[in-house]
Amino acid sequence: MTPTSYVVLGCLALAGPATPYGLKQTVAGSIGYFWSFPHSQLYSEPERLARAGLVTEQREDRGRRRRTYAITDAGLAALKAWVVTPTDELPQIRDIGMLKLYFGSIADGEQLAELARVRTDAHRRRRELYSEAAAGHDSGPGIRAGEALALRFGIAFEDASIAFWGSLAKGLND
């Protein structure tokens, strides 16, 4: 079971049965901001889960032969058990920009300043996206509480990033 497995289980649990494409829709624009993967995963992963008995697969027997997946009781139990076990494993931040900065001593100041500007902008845009999503979110409470919290953290992260790269850009500017 990888994190991807639980994303699929979680989406099926929260939003009900879905096709791989439906999962793609669900993931994009929500948890996908924080944990993304190509859509092909959403074909192979449910297959694995089905083999493990955590979801059921039902396939149209005519037309496009679309598959619809639904979470089973075993799947729900597995998801619950996972959610309920606290992790102390720390987040992994995979940030190409940070990597480049880390090895930045082989570049000159102006190049690093440009990097910092580009990054500041990218983070600003992302921050916008999050706050819009959060705003459009104030309507449906309850079920989507997790999403609102994730967005709140996302905004905090973007703010920290903007502050960091922004001050770096300023500091490197002449």
Report the interface residues with a copy of itself, using CB under 8 A.
3, 6-7, 10, 13-14, 31, 34-36, 76, 79-80, 82-84, 86-107, 111, 114-115, 117-119, 121-123, 126, 142-147, 149-150, 152-153, 156-157, 159-161, 163-164, 168
Q: Closest approach of Cβ 58 to DNA, in Å?
A: 11
Q: Closest approach of Cβ 165 to a copy of itself, in Å?
A: 9
Q: Is the CB of 21 or the CB of 153 nearer to DNA?
A: 21
Which element (helix H / strand E) includes 57? strand 55-59
Q: Closest approach of Cβ 125 to DNA, in Å?
A: 19
Close Cβ partners of 94 (under 8 Å, ≥ 6 residues apart):
none
Q: Closest approach of Cβ 67 to DNA, in Å?
A: 5
- Per CB under 7 A, residues contacting DNA are 2-4, 19-22, 24-25, 37-41, 43-45, 48, 63-67
Largest CA distance in the chain: 67
Distance CA 37, CA 51 (A): 21
Distance CA 56, CA 18 (A): 11
Distance CA 141, CA 136 (A): 11
